[in-house]
Amino acid sequence: MPLPPLHQLLRDLIRVPSVNPAHTSDPAIRGERRMADALQTLFTERGLVTERIDTPDPERPAVLGRADAPVPKQTLMFEVHLDTVGIDNMTLPPFEGILRDNRMYGRGACDMKGATAALLYALTPERIRALNARGVSLLIVGAPDEECGTKGAETLAASGVRADHAVILEPTRCRPVVAHKGANWYDIVLRGRSGHGSQPEAGISTHEALARILPEILRAHKALQQMHSHPLLGVSSLNIGRISGGHTYNIIPDHTLIQLDRRVIPTEDPALFEQAVQHILDELIREGRLLSGTVTRVNQTAAFATNPGDTLPQSLLDAVESVTGQRPACEGTSWVSDAAPFSTVCGQTLVFGPGDIAQAHTEDEFIDLTALETGAAILARFLDDYGVTG
């Protein structure tokens, strides 16, 4: 029996492997090119004008689809990321799209080929024409490299891709996510002086310095938590992810590396924490307890926040309410997304889509098909009402 078209569309997308190269070296599944090809075809079928944006790796292009209004008043953008995480942990065939218990299983079923299918299903040529007639230019962005630090979206935002309203598709259980924390990863490098373990006073032990630094870092982090909070996100968080260094039992350790993951709310400047850490390190250097100490931000995804009362979240909530009969509250999350780079260049940005982030990246990733259909219906309603002036 043939599948309903929306389910078939999702299965087709699951069958196109697009694993982020950071998660695989297998050329049969590595990179986003196959997904970009598939989306380009689907965009063309819907009457969109398509454009490829190449990156240094030919297996990792971005793809755009656009339909410009003859008399443009505003631009509405949807963004999907083309990549998925790897498949090493999967217990089910990752690229088949297995149907069981009203769910479809496969890598990307939830994150985020489900939302991609829902959007493409809702995006009929008639709806695109109606949007254009109302002065709405439509832009659909397929970005590579989300799963390893939102790099693809950063490049696209920097290259001039922008809109008045941007809907970033991710599994949010069909609730508008209007804020998330930023992710800052740090390397703190301590340098001391080595020597014989029987004479610790003759060297400078970076591990002894470490014992003094950690409580100070926790204190500085707590002080920032007390100063800055956000109504949807709470306070910034800190994970001391990894500590490494030293040589062996009887050698004074002369190097220590501390790796931190700090998730920062949009109302707190990440530089405040960095300055506090550098101050702690400088004090120890002055006291002769370290030769040198540096803190370096090695990876950053910015935080983002949109006012829940703005027109984009409210019009999406109108669509949710008219399809489900319920008007959920806007939410904030601790996971990051492509919303961060696009929020810096777009008027209003939010994250939305069917599926639950709890099923993303799992060994048996799936999306509930009723949730998928609800997501497609909400997006269809949103498109029908968008730009209609009362």
What is the x/- site pattern for Zn ion, positions 244-273, by CB under 5 A?
------------------------------
User: Which tokens is 284 given?
Assistant: 């120890």
CB of 87 or CB of 213, closer to Zn ion = 87
Give min distance, CB of 360 to Zn ion, in A: 6
> Across-strand partners of 333?
180
User: Which tokens is 50 given?
Assistant: 């398509």
CB of 108 or CB of 195, closer to Zn ion = 108
Q: Following CA atoms 121, 127, 129, 134 in sequence, which dihedral angle do they give, to the nearest 10 degrees?
A: -140
Residue 150's closest CA among 372, 345, 338, 331? 338
Residue 91, helix vs strand vs coil: coil
CB of 145 or CB of 268, closer to Zn ion = 145
- Using CB under 5 A as the binding rule, whether residue 112 contacts Zn ion is answered as yes
For helices 113-122 and 369-385, what crossing angle results, to 10°?
A: 40
CB of 111 or CB of 368, closer to Zn ion = 111
CB of 258 or CB of 336, closer to Zn ion = 336
CB of 111 or CB of 254, closer to Zn ion = 111
CB of 192 or CB of 353, closer to Zn ion = 353
**Which residue has the closest beta carbon to Zn ion?**
111
Give min distance, CB of 154 to Zn ion, in A: 15
Stretch that binds Zn ion, among 62-70, 108-116, 120-128, 256-264 (CB under 5 A): 108-116
Stretch that binds Zn ion, among 107-115, 175-183, 285-293, 363-371 (CB under 5 A): 107-115
CB 65, CB 49: distance < 8 Å:
yes
User: Which tokens is 128 given?
Assistant: 């695109």
Stretch that binds Zn ion, among 37-45, 111-119, 196-204, 246-254 (CB under 5 A): 111-119
Give min distance, CB of 260 to Zn ion, in A: 24
CB of 170 or CB of 365, closer to Zn ion = 170
CB of 85 or CB of 138, closer to Zn ion = 85
Stretch that binds Zn ion, among 4-12, 72-80, 110-118, 265-273 (CB under 5 A): 110-118
- Using CB under 5 A as the binding rule, whether residue 111 contacts Zn ion is answered as yes
The footprint of Zn ion on residues 136-175 (CB under 5 A) is: 170
User: Which tokens is 286 given?
Assistant: 């002055």
Measured distance CA(69)–CA(129) in Å, rounded:
9
Give min distance, CB of 171 to Zn ion, in A: 7
Stretch that binds Zn ion, among 112-120, 159-167, 182-190, 256-264 (CB under 5 A): 112-120
Q: What is the DSSP string of 328-347?
A: PPPEEESS--THHHHHTTSS
Give min distance, CB of 20 to Zn ion, in A: 10
Residue 308's closest CA among 175, 183, 181? 175
CB of 152 or CB of 192, closer to Zn ion = 152
> Across-strand partners of 74?
136
- Using CB under 5 A as the binding rule, whether residue 83 contacts Zn ion is answered as no
Stretch that binds Zn ion, among 26-34, 54-62, 103-111, 286-294 (CB under 5 A): 103-111
The footprint of Zn ion on residues 168-207 (CB under 5 A) is: 170
CB 353, CB 118: distance < 8 Å:
yes
Give min distance, CB of 34 to Zn ion, in A: 18
CB 12, CB 5: distance < 8 Å:
no
User: Which tokens is 267 given?
Assistant: 């109302």
Measured distance CA(1)–CA(73) in Å, rounded:
45
Could you tell me how many residues of this chain bind Zn ion (CB under 5 A)?
A: 3
Those residues whose C-beta lies under 8 Å from the C-beta of residue 338, and which sit 6 or more positions away, are 79, 81, 143, 146, 150, 152, 153, 168
Residue 192, helix vs strand vs coil: coil
Phi, psi of 180 (to 5 degrees): -145, 160
Stretch that binds Zn ion, among 16-24, 104-112, 211-219, 296-304 (CB under 5 A): 104-112
CB 256, CB 244: distance < 8 Å:
yes
For helices 270-286 and 206-227, what crossing angle results, to 10°?
A: 150
Stretch that binds Zn ion, among 39-47, 109-117, 248-256, 307-315 (CB under 5 A): 109-117
Run of H or E residues at 143:
strand 136-143
CB of 111 or CB of 208, closer to Zn ion = 111
Residues that bind Zn ion in the complex, under the rule CB under 5 A? 111-112, 170
